[in-house]
Amino acid sequence: AIGAQNAFVLRQGLRREHIGSVVLFCAVADAALITAGVFGMSQALGDRPQLARALALAGAAFLAWYGWKALQRVRHAGRLQAAPGGASLRRGAALAQAAAFTLLNPHVYLDTVLLVGSIGAQQPPALQPWFAAGASTASLTWFSLLGFGARWLAPWFARPRAWQVLDGLIGLVMWLLAVLLVRHALAGA
């Protein structure tokens, strides 16, 4: 879902300012947080299957709530608010803002370290590096598409219906992931 960090990347893409630097910073930061989450959570959950199950259920509850919020937004269509204009940012200022939106955002830690980390930590040890690499690659792909594809997305997201479709898809995917997490947690019980 489009949060503060994603809106900033989108805005920089619409303004066509320092897109590569901002995308690279966000992707590298996500990769570091994902890796720390997967291997830190793996260590923390090592011999604690009950804790792993509780975190999986908590993650499922979070995803279900997140999905519910996205589905509620379907009823209240919005528009793209990250319009170009205003004073141009220097690269250092753009990177400082990207760092703030990334590292000072509690949702980043919930999503990457706790949620993705706990899912990755439940994988067999031999697959954990592959999981971290795959999640990091998905993050890089997302930020690249968001930043570099912004100019093509702008006309589409100017229509409220587009946000409704996106929020509907996000809600359904979050619910599907929540169901899969619950199923995984209960299968290990």
Residue 154: its H or E element = helix 150-157
- Find the mean pLDDT for residues 53-65: 79
Comparison of pLDDT for 79 and 7, the residue scoring more = 7
Q: Give the DSSP per-residue string, 169-186.
A: HHHHHHHHHHHHHHHHHH
Count CA atoms within 13 Å of residue 75 on its CB side. Answer: 4
pLDDT tier, 84 (very low <50, low <70, confident <90, very high otherwise): very low
Average pLDDT of the chain, as a whole number: 83
- Find the mean pLDDT for residues 41-69: 77
**pLDDT tens digit sequence for 2-53:** 667 887 888 788 788 899 999 999 999 999 999 998 988 767 766 677 877 7
What is the rounded distance in angstroms from the CA atom of residue 124 to the CA atom of residue 126?
Answer: 6
pLDDT tier, 1 (very low <50, low <70, confident <90, very high otherwise): low
Location of structure tokens 């890089």: 140
| The residue type at 11 | R
Res 121 pLDDT > 70: yes
Query: Measuring CA to CA, which residue among 173, 166, 171, 180 is closest to residue 59?
Result: 180
